[in-house]
Structure 1
């Protein structure tokens, strides 16, 4: 069973008040007004988390009045003040805790050195140091709580970022492969009676593309498995570009590939980013450009910079509305920015071009 914090504080106040009352009785008793002050020195702990500063002020005031009326101070008269000091340091800003510590020091010095004939200055200093320790413990607790809260926020943000990344991956997989499947299924239906060979080739392309889509989706779903038994496979990269180009050619889009400079491997993140930009760009050609040819250029000659250019000769995509960026281009730019790259897109040479510039992290 879990108790609410206020119930725990009430129970603590009752127990400590009873102990202090028993201590007074053991020391010879006190008049009713003294017992009332004793209650005020410890009972406010019950509301310490709701009003820590007021709680501490009430306790300090009760301690001062009690000392003025009773010369024979007993041990534990400042126990409630220690708890209150810890609470203020935990729940309130540092400057508030400093003011309350200064007020406590002043009260203790006045009570123990001026009003009490039985306390010496070393004992008074010891009491002040104990209050200082309570302040330090409260400050440490507050910092620990802030750190835990910060880590929780980071974990929440990381989870949100991961959901966005997976959603983007699913979008790319579905948009590309389903576009090819839809187009080839339409071709097969159109030529089924007039060109059986072309229809068979289109149906075979549908089968190959759907299997590749299922494979990529299984990879993403394996990432989401929590039982640790998923068979994780590598994400696609530029090494799979030839397969992507082959699918586009089977879908009816002639694609030429040119590589400038010496190919070199990229880190997994940038490698996936480059592949997805190429995939999204070629898919857009298939969906929007009509009869078109495409050229993919990989340029490694800049040393630490990879330039990927996809240009088509077909119809440009419909112009976006004012202030609106097409979703596909927006996703490509977000991917590139994650790795310090940029994506530019626009009409070129009577067609449309997408250019990705991506740091490779290596100097030649």
Structure 2
């Protein structure tokens, strides 16, 4: 059964139940009930079947039935006003507060009319009591509407969080695979090239491939542990990489060919996990691009620790870049930097090569 039909079917069943009880109550009264009175009694509850499709129309039909029954002197309806309560609740839940206020005022006016036509001495306390009961249905419906909106907002926030997490995981996978596979590819090519002429170099390159592959698997496992549904195994709780692992990253890049130098300015200090990972991934992605595009030229990684910011600049001495188009890696670094209030710029250098600069705010509180 379609999901949208279930609430409507429930309303139809509720209307049938209320109608059957109303008819049974009317027939069970000592005095005979006229067909018109019975019809109006049915119309005071049967429209409940349409309460979610047309709540205002439902309430107007019930108000009309109760009003006509009062004008023709049929006395109290067997339904006891349950239809009005359900209709008021439905209008408050599904329509605006202004519409609910109008329907509430119309209902209170109807109740006053009923007391005026059925009783010689008007008792205002009875009207006030009835109005409070209707107001209770209104307040309950308003609370239900607010709860439904809050639930929808929470669901939208959860969906957005899942989407953002997917993007983050995709970015992590890109950073891990792009860097390590670039190193592996270059070292494997070097080993193949010098396998017969220079076996020590080939052996060292093959060792680098093995080490890089193991590190890639380790980082992949750490990332996939977050997604693991089966919790029988203990997850890898080792911290994500950060600038403390920068020396290893530089050493691994050097083994692939480029001469990388590191310059640190200002007193180095630890960063929070998020910005620390952001800084590491920026250097990792930049050095990956050096391996891919800069050739055998040198590269420099400069870190400047300021009072309130950390600036990282990665440059290389590659050839002049023409027709530069920003790729997914640069966009991913920029998005990651924006998460922590940072700014990333990247582009070709006029004299040749490429430069990537990241400026991260440091919160020393």
Q: TM-score, normalised by structure 2?
A: 0.94
Give the whole-Å Cα distance in 2 for the aligned partners of 1:295 and 1:250: 15
Give the whole-Å Cα distance in 2 for the aligned partners of 1:133 and 1:27: 33
Match for residue 338 of structure 2? 337
Gap regions ≥5 residues in structure 1: none
Per the TM alignment, residue 320 of structure 1 is displaced from its structure 2 partner at its CA by: 3.0
The 5-angstrom pairing of residues 186-201 of structure 1 reads 186-201=189-204
Q: Deviations over 1:112-141 (max 9, x none)?
A: 224444862211111111101100000000
Per the TM alignment, residue 346 of structure 1 is displaced from its structure 2 partner at its CA by: 2.0
The change in CA–CA distance for 1:107 and 1:27 in structure 2 (over 3 A counts) is farther
Conserved 8 A contact 2:41-2:78: no
Which of residues 230, 245, 251 in structure 1 aligns to 2:250? 245
Give the whole-Å Cα distance in 1 for the aligned partners of 2:30 and 2:259: 101
Match for residue 222 of structure 2? 219
Which of residues 293, 309, 312 in structure 2 aligns to 1:305? 309
The change in CA–CA distance for 1:51 and 1:118 in structure 2 (over 3 A counts) is farther
Q: Does 1:284 align with 2:289?
A: yes
Match for residue 264 of structure 1? 269
Which of residues 107, 110, 114 in structure 1 aligns to 2:110? 107
Q: Deviations over 1:312-344 (max 9, x none)?
A: 1112455335xxx22211111001000000111
Which of residues 273, 278, 296 in structure 2 aligns to 1:273? 278
Per the TM alignment, residue 208 of structure 1 is displaced from its structure 2 partner at its CA by: 0.7
Conserved 8 A contact 1:288-1:316: no
Q: Deviations over 1:29-62 (max 9, x none)?
A: 3100110101110011111111111000000000
Aligned length: 359
Match for residue 11 of structure 1? 13
Q: Does 1:129 align with 2:135?
A: no
The 5-angstrom pairing of residues 89-108 of structure 1 reads 89-108=92-111
Conserved 8 A contact 2:188-2:209: yes
Conserved 8 A contact 2:44-2:79: no
Corresponding residue SS for 2:45: helix
Corresponding residue SS for 2:44: helix
Conserved 8 A contact 1:315-1:351: yes
Give the whole-Å Cα distance in 2 for the aligned partners of 1:212 and 1:119: 87
Q: Deviations over 1:13-37 (max 9, x none)?
A: 1222222223333252310011010
Q: TM-score, normalised by structure 1?
A: 0.94
Match for residue 70 of structure 1? 73
Gap regions ≥5 residues in structure 2: none
